[in-house]
Amino acid sequence: MGSLLILPGDGIGPEVMTEVRRIIAWFQDKKYLKFTVEEDLVGGAAYDMHGTPLADETLAKALEVDAVLLGAVGGPDYDNLSFNLKPERGLLKLRKELDLFANIRPAQCFDALASFSSLKKEVVSGLDIVIVRELTSGIYFGEPRGIHTDGSNERIGVNTQRYTESEIRRVAISAFELALKRNKKLCSMEKANVMESGILWRDIVDEVHVDFKDVELSHMYADNGAMQLVRDPKQFDVIVTDNLFGDILSDCAAMLTGSLGMLPSASLGNKKENGLPRAMYEPVHGSAPDITGQSKANPIACILSFSMALRYSFSDVQNANLLEQSIEKVLAKGYRTPDLMMGEQGSLCSTKEMTDKILEELDASL
């Protein structure tokens, strides 16, 4: 039996999580999914209750469970808090304490939304790729860093790209394992032409490949990768890259698919004793204070985050596929939350109505 910890957070987080709970209840009721679901506070909601954006007991629970599902944190009420009390610190602490080193961002284009992409419909229609970004090392963390003066009144900004073999190896293993569950194609991106850390990255990925011979591996310089992503994104299946390049490439890939309200993500860490990786699933979007409390939030990014949990933490590919197909059908029938309506013909739905339609499709599948 698995275990899930739900942390709705702030703003539209609790609104979209209410809808995910209905989806979970459906799977528990109709598909007899057996996992325990606990719920707790994070971000501004935790600060309001405990005076800290992540209580120790909540962290202890997060370390215990098989998967954490988080809504979103932050909002204008908390903007003036000191740095360590800000809602975002709760999220960052969770990522750090769970040592979530592999950030997984799918870029999946539902056919019905292909016209939302800034690229031509035929380039993105049917797109289904995943970017694995190293999340806990590289240039955002490397030392030395800072802004120094060199004695000549000129300031020098310094950041250091630094990767150890083991940091590269573990994220490469995550990416190969993911590729095995998909179309068995992995493209590793770095800048081995101009960066030593890129040469090491390439070496280690090649070493790991020896244990994953069923996966077809290719290497690409990250700048070419950026071009290829907007030229012909469907050539990829899984992409693995470092923290900096992954930050940029995953945002670029996300926009291939259109709306922020549709984008899920997962962050995975080391495997625990039961063989499952530590894992946190969350929509890419934030707490959206501009639409909070108006029933306008698109719940699909959060529902797809739960679908990723089914796939990667609970090895339940069948139900993950069922959920994603149900969402695809609802979109194909023209149901749209406001964020998906721009210039489109369709039936306008509230947050709850969108979930009602997904549940109708799930019921129809029985």
Chain residues that interact with ligand NAD, rule: CB under 6 A: 12, 72-75, 88, 91, 260-261, 282, 285-291, 297-298, 301, 339
CA distance 279 to 307: 13
40 versus 190: smaller Cβ distance to ligand NAD: 40
Alpha helices in the chain (DSSP H): 12-30, 44-50, 56-64, 87-97, 121-124, 165-181, 196-209, 222-231, 243-256, 300-312, 317-332, 351-364
Q: Rounded to the nearest whole angstrom, what is the least distance from the CB of residue 73 to ligand NAD in the complex?
A: 4
Q: Rounded to the nearest whole angstrom, what is the least distance from the CB of residue 267 to ligand NAD in the complex?
A: 11
Amino acid letter at 61? Answer: K
261 versus 277: smaller Cβ distance to ligand NAD: 261
Look at residues 98, 21, 33, 32 and name the one whose alpha carbon lies nearest to residue 60.
98
CA distance 152 to 39: 56
Contact 98, 105 (CB under 8 A): no
296 versus 311: smaller Cβ distance to ligand NAD: 296
Active site residue 203: no
Q: Which of the residues 128, 140, 185, 352 is marked catalytic?
A: 140
Residue 281: enclosing H or E segment and its boundaries?
strand 277-283
Half-sphere exposure of 362 (CA within 13 A, CB side): 24
Active site residue 223: yes
* 186 Cβ contact list (under 8 Å, min separation 6): 175, 176, 179, 215, 216, 217, 218, 237, 238, 239, 240
Phi, psi of 135 (to 5 degrees): -115, -15
127 versus 291: smaller Cβ distance to ligand NAD: 291
Q: Which of the residues 40, 66, 86, 191 is marked catalytic?
A: 191
Report the Cα 347 to chain-centroid distance in Å.
Answer: 28
180 versus 284: smaller Cβ distance to ligand NAD: 284
Q: Rounded to the nearest whole angstrom, what is the least distance from the CB of residue 41 to ligand NAD in the complex?
A: 14
Active site residue 214: no
* Distances, alpha carbon 276 to alpha carbons 67, 78, 205, 224, 258, in Å: 9, 35, 22, 34, 32
277 versus 286: smaller Cβ distance to ligand NAD: 286
Q: Rounded to the nearest whole angstrom, what is the least distance from the CB of residue 360 to ligand NAD in the complex?
A: 21
Q: Which of the residues 48, 79, 206, 251 is marked catalytic?
A: 251
Q: Rounded to the nearest whole angstrom, what is the least distance from the CB of residue 196 to ligand NAD in the complex?
A: 33
CA distance 40 to 7: 5
Active site residue 140: yes
Active site residue 163: no
Q: Which of the residues 48, 203, 206, 223 is marked catalytic?
A: 223
Q: Rounded to the nearest whole angstrom, what is the least distance from the CB of residue 298 to ligand NAD in the complex?
A: 3
| Antiparallel, parallel or unpaired: β 216-221 and 185-190 | parallel
Give the active site residues: 140, 191, 223, 247, 251
